[in-house]
Amino acid sequence: MRLTNLPSEFQKALPILEKIKSAGYEAYFVGGSVRDALLHRPIHDVDIASSSYPQETKAIFERTVDIGIEHGTVLVLEQGSEYEVTTFRTEDVYVDYRRPSSVNFVRSLEEDLKRRDFTVNAFALDERAQIIDKFNGLEDLDNKLLRAVGKAEERFNEDALRIMRGLRFAASLDFDIEDATFQAMMTHAPLLEKISIERSFIEFDKLLTAPHWKKGVKAFKDSRAYCYLPGLEESQDKWDEFTAAYSDDFVFSSSEQAWAALLIALDVPAVKPFLKKWKTSAQFQKIVDALVSLYRFRQSEQLGLRQLYQYGRETIEVIEELRQAQGLAVDFEKIAELDQSLLIHDKHDIVVNGGMLMSELGIKPGPELGKILSQVEWAIVDGKLANKKETIFDFIANLDSK
């Protein structure tokens, strides 16, 4: 098969292939970029595989960087762009269900493609736009089927993260997982405990934010992969509720929104400790925690000025999007009106500060000063006090007289 229209990303990189071939070696575009071209999806990274060994690749190009030369990868800097050129290789025994103990450079494209995860990721594309398909990946692509290359048991035993990748591909591509491949996923799911949680987070996060996340979540549940990921061990009866809660066409707008929705569905009492187990950043934990808290508040309360001030309009709208997708009542116009009516959006917007109260009103530092500043802050937020110096001083004087 030939691509009738070679995407511009490949056209731009053609000189790389041509230079390698003119030096007497083979070179092809490989991997996900070829799959995405066939599916008419956006192309991100263009990867190149070559029969040239790393030192041979470096001899062909003037500017290169050794980014992973022990694994056969050389970064080629050409015409203002960067391209990873990786030598055809086979891999030795995997020592930790993630990384091979060693790699062996080879001259055979087919040997290189054999080590890849799924047939739809094992294509190669030459400079004439000809597709090389050694494992019936084109048929699987037509059938929207995800199938492991070769023996599925071997692929997942080599690298257990491929289980999470497969589930993510189901969600992003809207593909079904071939039966034998899925059975191997289920069998090898316990190996996920041996994979770094940061890696699993990346794949699961991509699954949750994918267009067909419901399909991915169903496969995730049916594979029982959740049993081997932190905090999800006892979540079996929650997954159907999670997917059923949202309209079929709803797609999460951000990772934070997706994880907040998940933790709400799982009824996780303490958000930050849960996400800490997944080794997420403190900032990510803070945002998701705020979203979950706000959602729970909205289950029984209406929004007011204090919520707009405390959480901010953007955070509130993220939660209201979730509520809207669940068929619950929302009012974005009211949110906008409340936000506009706020006199301040941050305590630093207040025209007075602690230093002024100490120097001009003689208030001593300590808990009492903090209490007064808090009373001023919330009075302004509630619209009961103008954000003006004289008015605030009068307000404080009246506090003293009470």
Residue 218 pLDDT:
97
Per the DSSP assignment, residues forming a β-bridge with 104 are 90
Are 184 and 152 in contact by the 8 Å Cβ rule? The answer is yes
Q: Is there a binding annotation on residue 168?
A: yes
Residues 6+ apart with CB under 8 A from 68: 86
Q: Is there a binding annotation on residue 99?
A: no
Residue 350 pLDDT:
97
Interval 228-270: pLDDT, tens? 999 999 999 999 999 999 999 999 999 999 999 999 999 999 9
Residue 90 pLDDT:
85
Q: Of 110, 83, 94, 66, give the one whose Cα is nearest residue 15.
A: 83
Q: Is there a binding annotation on residue 159?
A: yes
- May I ask the CATH class of domain 154-244? mainly alpha
State whether residue 66 is helix, strand or coil. strand
Residue 40 pLDDT:
93
Residue 349 pLDDT:
97
Q: pTM to 2 decimals?
A: 0.91
Domain coordinates of the chain in residue numbers? Answer: 1-143, 154-244, 248-342, 347-401
d(CA 239, CA 255): 18
The answer to whether 248-342 and 347-401 have equal CATH topology is: no
Q: Which stretches of the chain score pLDDT less than 50?
A: 402
d(CA 269, CA 280): 17
Residue 95 pLDDT:
57
The answer to whether the Cα torsion of 381, 384, 389, 394 is positive or negative is negative
Burial of 351 (0-12, 13-18, 19+ CB in 10 A): middle
Whether domain 248-342 has CATH 3.40.718.10: the reply is: no
Residues 6+ apart with CB under 8 A from 302: none
Are 125 and 132 in contact by the 8 Å Cβ rule? The answer is yes
Residue 1 pLDDT:
87
Whether domain 1-143 has CATH 3.20.20.10: the reply is: no
Residue 261 is which amino acid? A
Q: Is there a binding annotation on residue 205?
A: no
CA dist list (Å): 55 to 22, 24, 61, 68, 78: 16, 14, 10, 12, 17
Are 178 and 145 in contact by the 8 Å Cβ rule? The answer is yes
Q: Domain 347-401: give its CATH architecture.
A: Orthogonal Bundle (1.10)
Q: Is there a binding annotation on residue 35?
A: yes
Q: Is there a binding annotation on residue 45?
A: yes
Q: Is there a binding annotation on residue 174?
A: no
